[in-house]
Amino acid sequence: MSARHQVAGNQLALLKNGAAFFPQLCADIDAARHSVYLETYIFAADETGHMIADALRRAAARGVAVRVLLDGFGSAELPQYWVDELRRAEVEVQWFRREVSPFTLQRSRKRRLLRLHRKLAVMDGKVAFVGGINIVDDIPEHSGFTMPRLDYAVRVQGAVAGEIHTAMRRLWGMVSWANFHRRSKEIKRFFLEKAEPAAVPDIAFLLRDNLRHRRDIERAYLKAIAGAQHEIIIANAYFLPGRVFRRVLRKAARRGVRVVLLLQGRVEYRLQHYATHALYDQLLAAGVEIYEYQASYLHAKAAVVDGQWATVGSFNIDPFSLLLAREANLAIRHAGFAGELRSSLLAAIDSDAVRIGDEYGRTGNFFGRLVARLSYGVVRLLIGMLGYRGHTP
């Protein structure tokens, strides 16, 4: 595990990629005495999935309450027999919006697209993980890559872990109520239990949902960017921000702040990949530095501002995260932690990324720019069809 940072009574450790995250997660599950909560978008039936599932079964076998919440779309390929085996081992498994019935086609388009994109875990309410790493093998299958996805998670011990525990219990209770799995008294207890922010101003556990926390993570980004004096580094897998976000980035660059974007260089989702390219001209013109990660897929959702403020989590700066998904990030004001994340991001830029220069806008790149504009137009149309015209990127 990396260096440990003491922040307002909490101990934090930055974990890079699954090689650091998965063994530490298993060790903390094995150390749990009372409860384990796990939320993930993707739980894959692969070697990593086996490792985490075995740790969950071991915990349940010694009497620990183990609860796993899976997204119905992201984890749709997880075989049913995996779920059955977990349940036979006394691991409780629930699905967030599993679309399996033809009757779901009658639902609102927007409601069908609401997803659980959080990657959270908490043990005994004392140790928690927040990040962007799914339960899936680190190196993408059939990709030809020898390098893992670039991604991060944070391990936290202290009052913030208790706040994360409360938030996860509350969502578990809401899903239980929706699935009619629990008695009314227990459901009432879950709903009344609120995730009040811990009294630690240098750490904030930030949520995004479609109720009370629609823009909390976005606002934290905007506040940090607007207050930047020297440097902004953002690593984001799927980057398609709205007008306000782009304007704040351009204003920062024009007042002399170094603005660095580390974005996806490998084509993973074609429409979104090329739509992002449509933003390059205006960002480059404002002096923003753009780098595309090439060693593997970029999956990080992290940022550092002035070497003092940092955030790590599941939140992409794109319409999916901005408008549709449940997300979770940690925002941390601490020079030691921010400096470690900054060094890691700069190392990835120096060794595994290519810089996008002024040649991008030259006439010789006409076809690429046309594809980007068309892709961007399609994304605008899709978001508008969902009724989010006021938030269209």
Q: Catalytic site residues?
A: 117, 119, 124, 299, 301, 306
Residue 173: other Cβ atoms inside 10 A: 20
Cross-strand pairs, 334: none
With 0-12 / 13-18 / 19 or more C-beta atoms within 10 angstroms meaning exposed / middle / buried, residue 360 is middle
| Cβ atoms of residues 152 and 15 within 8 Å | yes
Q: How far is residue 133's CA from residue 41's CA, in Å, rounded to a whole number?
A: 9
The DSSP letter of residue 43 is B
2: tokens are 């990396």
Residue 123: other Cβ atoms inside 10 A: 27
User: What is the length of the chain?
Assistant: 393
Pick from 323, 309, 341, 336: which is nearest to 222 by CA? 309
Q: How far is residue 220's CA from residue 237's CA, in Å, rounded to a whole number?
A: 18
CA atoms within 13 A on the CB side of 139: 7
Q: At what angle do helices 216-226 and 243-254 cross, to 10 degrees?
A: 20
Put residue 256 in one of left, alpha, beta given phi > 0 → left and psi -120 to 50 → alpha: left
| Cβ atoms of residues 336 and 211 within 8 Å | no
Torsion from C-alpha of 351, 352, 355, 360, nearest 10 degrees: 150
